[in-house]
A and B are shown apart, each in its own frame.
Chain A
Amino acid sequence: MKFLAPLLGVVIYLALQAAVAGRIAIGSIAPDFVVVCVVLFGLQRGSVQGSLFGFFVGFLVDLSNPGYLGLNALTKCLLGFAAGGLGAAASPGLLVLAIVFFVGALAHDFVYLLIYLWPGVGSALLTRALPSALYTAVAGVAVERILALLGAKVVTSFGKERQY
């Protein structure tokens, strides 16, 4: 069960990304549910599991874009590590959680676009990364709220590694 729940979560979030993200996109700006998934997992499980999980999920995403195999694995493992290492911050309200999602998505896209579009990364940060990070933050909070309403164990406090 310890490994089954994260695997099931990965499948659900990848399905959300593949089937829903495109449909709720505003223009070409879509939320990144995979980033939401990695951040939530990192917050729950800490740096070690967060980075391992991020690498695994990122590698799965890379399989669909094989010209850059390893890029998503790298960025999402960093994201999982950072989310897991937030430390003993104050207990999060929705605003703090939204900021975590926003900063996480922005930093993730910054590293991603820096490598992917090098050296022409300038405008993409403004036109793609920034609005996308905002959208991801909103989607992330919505997902967290829905999970909470369903009774799932979601982020209730930073700093302590939670177990299912």
Chain B
Amino acid sequence: MNTSIDFCGAKFPNPTVLASGILGVIGDSLKNVAEIGAGGVTSKSVWLERHEGHKNPTMMGSEHFYINAVGLPDGGIDKAREELGKYLEWKNSQPEGKRVPLIGNIVAGTIADFENIAGQMAEIGPDIIEVNISCPNVEDEFGRPFACVTADAAEVTRIVKSVSKNIPVAIKLSPNVANIGEIAAACEKQGADAITAVNTFGPGMVIDIDTAEPILANKVGGVSGPGIKPLAVKRVWDVAQAVSIPVIGMGGVLTGRDVIEFMMAGASLVGIGAGVFYRGSEIFSDVMLEVEEWMKENGVKDLSEVIGKAVKYGIGCRG
């Protein structure tokens, strides 16, 4: 049984990827998640300079949803160079097949800063650079996310590609648009090597009725978790049909069946973020056991066979 996925020239031992913003503050934490069994790990969004983020509460969850407005706190590119460098050194010391690729996520408030940060991230040398143009939690600082305007998303893609050297670039899109397929296609046209879909929904809000106060310090936050899974699957489906580059799909993945569902919608890799809240960091190994069980039951020998299965023709009902 083969669960490895070739993605933009990197070999992922399995399709599960630690999503950006989860357990990604230090290199040793990424290593721990890789050792647990993630197929890939993504750093927190890295800024050029130190960025404070919001006051607490920054996140909370119920059985149906997770909501966060962490506000992309980060120590800046110099800290990332040290921490991601430490991870890459460990990764490269592992035997082939056990090297868990690193996705270096970057963020900036202006096109010029994207050029600068992308160039510096390329020097660090992750397997893929993921460009966060879709965080809904820094709108007060930077206005509407670039991912919500087709021309802006395309322009960021163009500028990042101009400095990313040979490192593949994935653009992380927002689901909070009417035309995600069109935006994805515009990024592809400017040279994007992959699309990550999707960032959190909303923004949403939770109000405490005993004090009549919004609970998140930022008042509003991006919504993820099991409740948004069908919405995310549809966005991945739309993106996969609009582009021919591969897709990292995510949104409310809790189980092995969820991973396969996203792959059938067209994702080659599947991100797990809020799932860590529901099942702990062991979710990566647990989910892959579930995937392998499903593969065995259904006689699937190579997991990459299921990518886009629902988009192309479906498996059908006949025994």
To the question of whether A and B form a pair in one complex, the answer is no
A binding-site residues for B, Cβ under 8 Å: none
B binding-site residues for A, Cβ under 8 Å: none
